[in-house]
Amino acid sequence: MQLEEDVSPILSVSGVSKTYEGGFQALKSIDLEIARGEIFALLGPNGAGKTTLISIICGIVNLSSGEITVDGADIGRDYRVARSKIGLVPQELTTDAFETVRDTVAFSRGLFGKTKNPAHIERVLRDLSLWEKRDNKIMTLSGGMKRRVLIAKALSHEPELLFLDEPTAGVDVALRREMWEVVRKLREAGVTIILTTHYIEEAEMMADRIGVISRGELILVEEKAELMRKLGHKELTLHLQEPLSGVPAGFSDYDLSVSPDGSMLTYSYDTNAERTGIGSLMRRLAEEGIRFRDISTKQSTLEEIFVNLVENRA
Amino acid sequence: MNVTAIAAIYKFEMARTFRTLMQSIISPVISTSLYFVVFGAAIGSRIQEVDGVSYGAFIVPGLIMLTLLQQSLTNAAFGIYFPKFTGTIYELLSAPISPIEIVTGYVGAAATKSIALGLIILATASLFVDLHIEHPVWMILFLVLTAVTFAMFGFIIGIWADGFEKLQIVPLLIVTPLAFLGGSFYSISMLPEFWQDVSLVNPVVYLISGFRWAFYGTSDVSIALSLGMTLVFLGATLAVVTYIFRTGWRLKS
């Protein structure tokens, strides 16, 4: 008999708002559902509410209104069930100092009510290249190693849903790539991952879906593929020898614009389209005697989409 | 009940004690020995018996109480304050554990440590003076009740404190004077009547008096009153801890 795939969301956030004492509204009626096994990237500028949202889901901050369930368990009423499914890697490097790596990870497992399982702890430490450091005191480790210890602690109780709050902030490129590898492995093991990041590249590399949060509002949730389609948008800019007063007549088939001083002509096109129209545009310009000194192209990045979204809201 | 979590916190806190063995155990023993040398031998030999007990033996319950109060208070306070200070409290708050389980872990460890210290001091004292304990069961009961009560009090201070200064201020400025003035080194009955009445406002008087009664069968206040007051303090700390977790005061925003 084949078991039916569980399609209910692993995390459901509905109408969640948070107003801190003093009146600052950090979150405004957030609705979000996370599917099992996906990697969801939450993007947003500093102070947008990313960490507040994660902290509420994990039980560190009280919510003002709304409802959150983790695998169907309410985070308030059934907090034991809900929390036992969650692993949290916080943004700050908050570790103990004098404990050994193995002890601190075993402590985390105990805190989540799981009986000892040295084999699991060893697997986690090996996966995170921490096994060699297992008997070292945490205070002797580098920043990158401490970050791994935090991940190991979060994985110690075999969570189904893992929060990575800026996992690669302040981490060098090599370690960042290793972290991505760890995330990939976790995903293969069936763990659902929600990560917040400032690195758009990271979201592009890792995520299945991307959410953008700004000023406490979730302003966009989209499949990464859809966003990447928008990324196909590209601009070709011609630096003209003679300024133009406007888009020349007869070029209405092309998506052209002229800079205010007339020195640049910009053509917007879709790289995914069958024909980009660049060749014909060049020929037409030559026929019309419009000459140029230089050429540049520019692709809109996820970062620009993100910045535009946030600025438009501002 | 997440017993595994309680055990994890307890073990973690006890490991901290063993890492700092010198500071945790040896230093209170040395300072107590010094009290014996100064008050017991040097000065005590010139003081007559108090309530039929030699002065050296008379101060033993008070000295144990003094250490018990300070140690259970500072250990529990530091135990919960440090995760707040370093930020590792996130893990406690996000774990599937109830407030009562957190308190049991921290208070249990702090109380265990201070009770062990109390017993070590008792053993050290027996090297200096002749000791007999009339009511050993009551002695243990008072030891445990007082350790738990002051560990709870310390836990509250650890949550309240938002800096190291506040962490130190209560043990230094409140508990130590109350313990000294609560009859550690004298019987309340030795004071002028006015100061005897004033002393009765000091909660530590009831703890020391009850504890001394367990040793020698004599006390400043009745044993029922001592036990009753101890239980009232315990109840009060329980009520405050319950309030803290219900509201998330100083723990959750």
Chain B nearest-CA distance from A101, in A, is 13
Q: Which CATH number covers residue A120?
A: 3.40.50.300
A110 and A206 fall within a common domain: yes
ipTM: 0.85
- Average pLDDT of span A209-219: 90
Shortest CB distance from B4 goes to which of A95, A110, A153? A110
Give pTM, 2 decimals. 0.83
Provide the mean pLDDT of chain B.
88
- Name which of A82, A88, A114 is nearest B90 (Cβ-Cβ): A88
| CA pair distance A95, A91, nearest whole angstrom | 11
Interface test with B, best of A84, A111, A116, A156 (most B CBs within 10 A): A111
Q: How much is the pLDDT for A67? A: 96
Backbone angles phi, psi at A259, to 5 degrees: -65, 155
CB of B253 within 8 Å of a chain A CB? The answer is yes
H/E/C letters for each residue in A247-305? CCCCCCCCCEEECCCCCEEEEEEECCCCCCCHHHHHHHHHHCCCCEEEEEEEECCHHHH
Give the tens place of pLDDT for each residue, B173-207. 888 888 888 888 888 888 888 888 888 888 899 99
Q: CB–CB of A110 and B7 under 8 A?
A: yes
Contact B226, B219 (CB under 8 A): yes
What amino acid is encoded at B224 in this protein?
Answer: A
Is pLDDT above 50 for B16? Answer: yes
A309 in a domain, yes or no? no
Distant-in-sequence, close-in-space partners of B23: CB < 8 Å, separation ≥ 6: none
- Residue B140 forms part of a structural domain: yes
- Residue environment code for A109-118, b if the CB has 16+ CB neighbours within 10 A, otherwise e: bbbbbbeeee
pLDDT at A207 over 70: yes
pLDDT of residue A3: 54
Residue A151's domain comprises 11-229
Q: Specify if A153 maps to a domain.
A: yes
Q: When comparing pLDDT for A264 and A249, which is higher?
A: A264
Q: What percent of chain B has pLDDT over 70?
A: 100
Q: Tell if the CB–CB gap between A111 and B95 is shorter than 8 Å.
A: yes
Beta bridge partners of A68: A13
| Residue B203 host element (H or E) | helix B203-216
Q: Are A280 and A182 in contact (CB under 8 A)?
A: no
Together in a domain, A49 and A178: yes
Judged by CB atoms closer than 8 Å, whether chains meet at A60 and B252 is answered as yes
Checking DSSP bridges between strand A65-70 and strand A39-43, what pairing results, if any? unpaired
A93 assigned to some structural domain: yes
Q: Which region among A102-111, B50-59, B110-119 has the lowest average model confidence (pLDDT)?
A: B50-59
Q: Look up residue A123 and give its two tokens.
A: 């697997």
pLDDT at A13 over 90: yes
In a domain, A104, yes or no: yes
Minimal CA separation from A51 to chain B, in Å: 12
Residue A2 counted as domain residue? no
User: Do A95 and B91 count as a contact with CB atoms less than 8 A apart?
Assistant: no
User: Rounded mean pLDDT of chain A?
Assistant: 88
Domain end (from A170, A197, A229): A229
Classify the C-alpha dihedral B71-B72-B74-B79 as positive or negative: positive
CA atoms within 13 A on the CB side of B204: 25
pLDDT at B112 over 90: yes
pLDDT in tens, A79-130: 999 999 999 999 888 888 889 999 999 999 999 999 999 999 999 999 888 9
Same domain for A115 and A47: yes
State residue B106's pLDDT score.
95
Q: Closest residue of B to A22, CA-based?
A: B253
Angstroms from A100 CA to nearest CA on chain B: 11
Domain end, chosen from A229, A258, A280, is at A229
Say if B253 falls within a structural domain.
Answer: no
Confirm whether A1 is domain-assigned. Answer: no
Name B128's Cβ contacts closer than 8 Å, sequence gap at least 6.
B33, B36, B40, B41, B56
B224, B207 in Cβ contact below 8 A? no
8 Å CB contact of A113 and B88: no
Residue partners of A201: CB distance under 8 A and separation at least 6? none
Q: Which residues pair with A209 in a beta bridge?
A: A40, A223
Q: Which residues of A touch B1 (CB under 8 A)?
A: none
Number of domains, chain B: 1
The residue of B81, B86, B91, B245 whose CB has the most chain A CBs within 10 angstroms, and thus the best one to mutate to test that interface, is B91
- Split at pLDDT 50, 70, 90, the class of A247 is confident
**DSSP-derived secondary structure letter, A4:** P
Q: Which residue has the higher pLDDT, A295 or B17?
A: A295
Q: Which of A229, A250, A275 is the last residue of a domain?
A: A229
State the CB neighbour count (10 A cutoff) for residue B159. 20
A109: which chain B residues are within 8 Å (Cβ-Cβ)? 8
**Both A242 and A137 in a single domain?**
no
Alpha-carbon gap, residue B6 to A111, rounded angstroms: 7
Residue A287 sits in a domain whose CATH number is 3.30.70.1560
Domain count, chain A: 2
pLDDT of A170 over the 90 cut: no
Considering the domain boundaries, does residue B160 fall inside one? Answer: yes
Residue A114: inside a domain: yes
Q: Does A165 share its domain with A225?
A: yes
The alpha carbons of chain A give a radius of gyration, in whole angstroms, of: 25
Report which of residues A312 and B53 the model is more confident about.
B53
Whether the predicted pLDDT of A310 surpasses 90: no
In a domain, A121, yes or no: yes
CB burial string A158-187: b at 16+ within 10 A, e below: bbbbbbbbbbbeebeeebbebbbebbeebb
Structural contact between residues B99 and B241, judged by C-beta atoms closer than 8 angstroms: yes
**pLDDT tens-digit map of B83-108:** 989 889 999 999 999 888 999 999 99
CA–CA dist A63, A22 (Å, integer): 15
Verify that A208 and A246 share a domain, yes or no.
no
Residue A263: CB atoms within 10 A of its CB come to 16
Regarding whether A285 and A154 lie in a shared domain, the answer is no
Contacts of B228 (CB under 8 A, 6+ apart): none
How much is the average pLDDT of A61-80? 95
Residue B107's domain comprises 3-247
